Amino acid sequence: KDLVDFALNSLGLGQVIDTIQALGTDYWNQIKQIATQLLFAGQQIWQQATVVFQQLVADLQNHATDALPLVVQAIGQLTSLVGQSGKRDLVDFALNSLGLSQVIDTIQALGTDYWNQIKQIATQLLFAGQQIWQQATVVFQQLVADLQNHATDALPLVVQAIGQLTSLVGQSGKRDLVDFALNSLGLSQVIDTIQALGTDYWNQIKQIATQLLFAGQQIWQQATVVFQQLVADLQNHATDALPLVVQAIGQLTSLVGQSGKRDLVDFALNSLGLSQVIDTIQALGTDYWNQIKQIATQLLFAGQQIWQQATVVFQQLVADLQNHATDALPLVVQAIGQLTSLVGQSGKRDLVDFALNSLGLSQVIDTIQALGTDYWNQIKQIATQLLFAGQQIWQQATVVFQQLVADLQNHATDALPLVVQAIGQLTSLVGQSGKRDLVDFALNSLGLSQVIDTIQALGTDYWNQIKQIATQLLFAGQQIWQQATVIFQQLVADLQNHATDALPLVVQAIGQLTSLVQG
């Protein structure tokens, strides 16, 4: 009790306590809570808050009959100052002050878009000045009355109110809202570092931070973890700020949800420097363009190391396309293959489909599959290996595949010798190139990189069996891949815990996996 009294008296509120208490316990409790929090908020915030309280006391003494909007405005400014501890209270306080508690369920039932707009406007009004607050209060009072009388026609009523309120709010309060969001997320320590990367990245951070104020407590807490990690990383590795900020923006945009989805794709493409060659890639068709967009977005979540490796591939692609735009197709195909391999598991099945489609095999898949799984698997394996075989081999292989497609369409009943001949020519072309990459890709996608040494120590037989199974799984279908992933995850965990008993663990896993692949 002494602590609260001390805080109130230190801030000069003793003269206007009766006026504030007359507005009701909600407002009085808010003032007491903020005053107490300020005792622990540091000297700088205390001094800023003192200015707000001095203005409030002067205004209340001169305009006691208009006390409510004055107190509401002050609470909004002070809650912003106090920061994280008062963050969620800010939204609730704004809604309650505007009398919306009676119709929350009705507005929420219209969907999160309308509800988030109402919350955003209500919060912005705290920073919009007394005149705008009073005008907005009239609009909200009318909305509450209308919703209570016509709840079944809620949508047009809410839409109309949002339009009127958005017009009222305008730009007022916007800057304070952004600053409040940034400070609440602890970004004040690294603002200069992020701004130094350019306005694009800084604007993304500001937009996300503001959206998070309206994204709900759960998402806010998840985002806070991402921001804390970003701040720590930037303080330790300021010279490597770009990939750190890019990764964080990707994770946060994903958290914020659908509203940021379009921004996520554009941001990923721009961060990778693709803006200069978008027209060239789009001219190859939607399949290639969608692959590039998908990979670019996946890279935001793939970790700093993979991001940097992918950046090298994209830089080379951009340079090649600017120098050889008329030969764009094989350049883009090669890049997609390398990048899909980098991205890993999330792009695994796309890799096979993409290879087959790029080689024009979609028209004769049924004909080849009818010859049996052996021939079909060889075709898939060769098509995938070609992604890693270099531009020259890719172009030579394309000629073979074009001839095969034409022959199969004209002589489908004689398909077997045609396919056998093509496989022979293609195997000769591929040689050893790309083979090692395919095996490594399979092993990494299955998470085996952590226990390779342990398995290799058992001898080449066991290691070769694991490699063969891992590669076969790339072509075994999604269902079998997922079942095999469970077995491999268990094997990795067991080997990490019982490395000295590795042999029976590996033997058991090989048995289960062989049964899966063959079954």
- As a whole number of angstroms, the distance between CA 370 and CA 367 comes to 5
CB 224 within 8 A of CB 238: no
Query: pLDDT tens for residues 67-98?
Result: 888 888 888 888 777 764 444 456 676 787 78
b/e burial code for range 3-27 (CB count within 10 A of at least 16 → b): eeeebbeebebeebeebbeebeeeb
Amino acid type, 247: Q
- What tokens does 393 get? 């081999």
Query: pLDDT tens for residues 348-360?
Result: 445 677 678 778 8
**Residues 281, 285, 287, 289: is their CA dihedral positive or negative?**
positive
Determine the average pLDDT of the residues in 472-489. Answer: 76
pLDDT of 419 over the 80 cut? yes
- As a whole number of angstroms, the distance between CA 509 and CA 507 comes to 5
pLDDT attached to residue 433:
45
Which residue, chain included where needed, has tokens 């330790």?
A: 236
Q: What is the largest CA-CA distance in the chain?
A: 100
Q: pTM, whole model, 2 decimals?
A: 0.33
| DSSP state, residue 104 | H
- As a whole number of angstroms, the distance between CA 419 and CA 376 comes to 9
Query: pLDDT tens for residues 98-130?
Result: 888 889 989 988 887 778 888 878 877 766 666
H-type alpha helices, 360-459: 365-369, 373-386, 391-410, 415-430, 435-445, 452-456
Determine the average pLDDT of the residues in 219-244. Answer: 85
Q: Please, which pLDDT band fits residue 347 given cuts at 50, 70 and 90?
A: very low
- As a whole number of angstroms, the distance between CA 512 and CA 75 comes to 65
* Residue 309: its H or E element: helix 304-323
Closest CA to 110 of 143, 145, 154, 164: 154
Q: Is 290 exposed, middle or buried (CB count within 10 Å of its CB: 0-12, 13-18, 19+)?
A: exposed
Mean pLDDT for all residues in the chain: 79
H-type alpha helices, 63-129: 67-82, 87-97, 104-108, 112-125
pLDDT attached to residue 498:
84
pLDDT attached to residue 495:
92
Could you give the 3-state DSSP secondary structure of residue 504? helix
Q: 158 vs 384, which has greater pLDDT?
A: 158
Could you give the 3-state DSSP secondary structure of residue 39? coil
Could you give the 3-state DSSP secondary structure of residue 164? helix
Determine the average pLDDT of the residues in 222-228. Answer: 87
Q: Please, which pLDDT band fits residue 519 given cuts at 50, 70 and 90?
A: low
Query: pLDDT tens for residues 13-60?
Result: 888 998 999 888 878 888 887 886 776 566 677 788 888 999 999 999
Query: pLDDT tens for residues 247-270?
Result: 888 788 777 763 444 455 676 787
Closest CA to 263 of 315, 205, 190: 205
Q: Please, which pLDDT band fits residue 475 given cuts at 50, 70 and 90?
A: low
- Describe the crossing of helices 217-236 and 87-97 by its angle, rounded to 10 degrees: 140
- What tokens does 201 get? 């990245």
pLDDT of 215 over the 80 cut? no
Q: How many Cα atoms within 13 Å fall on the side-chain side of residue 19? A: 20
Q: 457 vs 262, which has greater pLDDT?
A: 457
pLDDT attached to residue 454:
92
Q: Is 488 exposed, middle or buried (CB count within 10 Å of its CB: 0-12, 13-18, 19+)?
A: buried
- As a whole number of angstroms, the distance between CA 472 and CA 377 comes to 9
pLDDT attached to residue 87:
44
pLDDT attached to residue 161:
82
Closest CA to 506 of 475, 460, 445, 442: 460
Amino acid type, 471: T
- What tokens does 183 get? 């400070």
CB atoms within 10 A of CB 327: 13
Q: Please, which pLDDT band fits residue 328 given cuts at 50, 70 and 90?
A: confident
Of 191-200, 250-259, 301-310, the one with minimum mean pLDDT is 250-259
pLDDT attached to residue 231:
93
CB 70 within 8 A of CB 53: no
Q: Please, which pLDDT band fits residue 338 given cuts at 50, 70 and 90?
A: confident
Domain residues of the chain, as ranges?
1-87, 91-173, 176-260, 263-343, 351-432, 438-518
pLDDT attached to residue 88:
47
Write the CA distances from 435 to 386, 387, 424, integer angstroms: 9, 10, 16
- As a whole number of angstroms, the distance between CA 84 and CA 356 comes to 53
Q: 291 vs 220, which has greater pLDDT?
A: 291
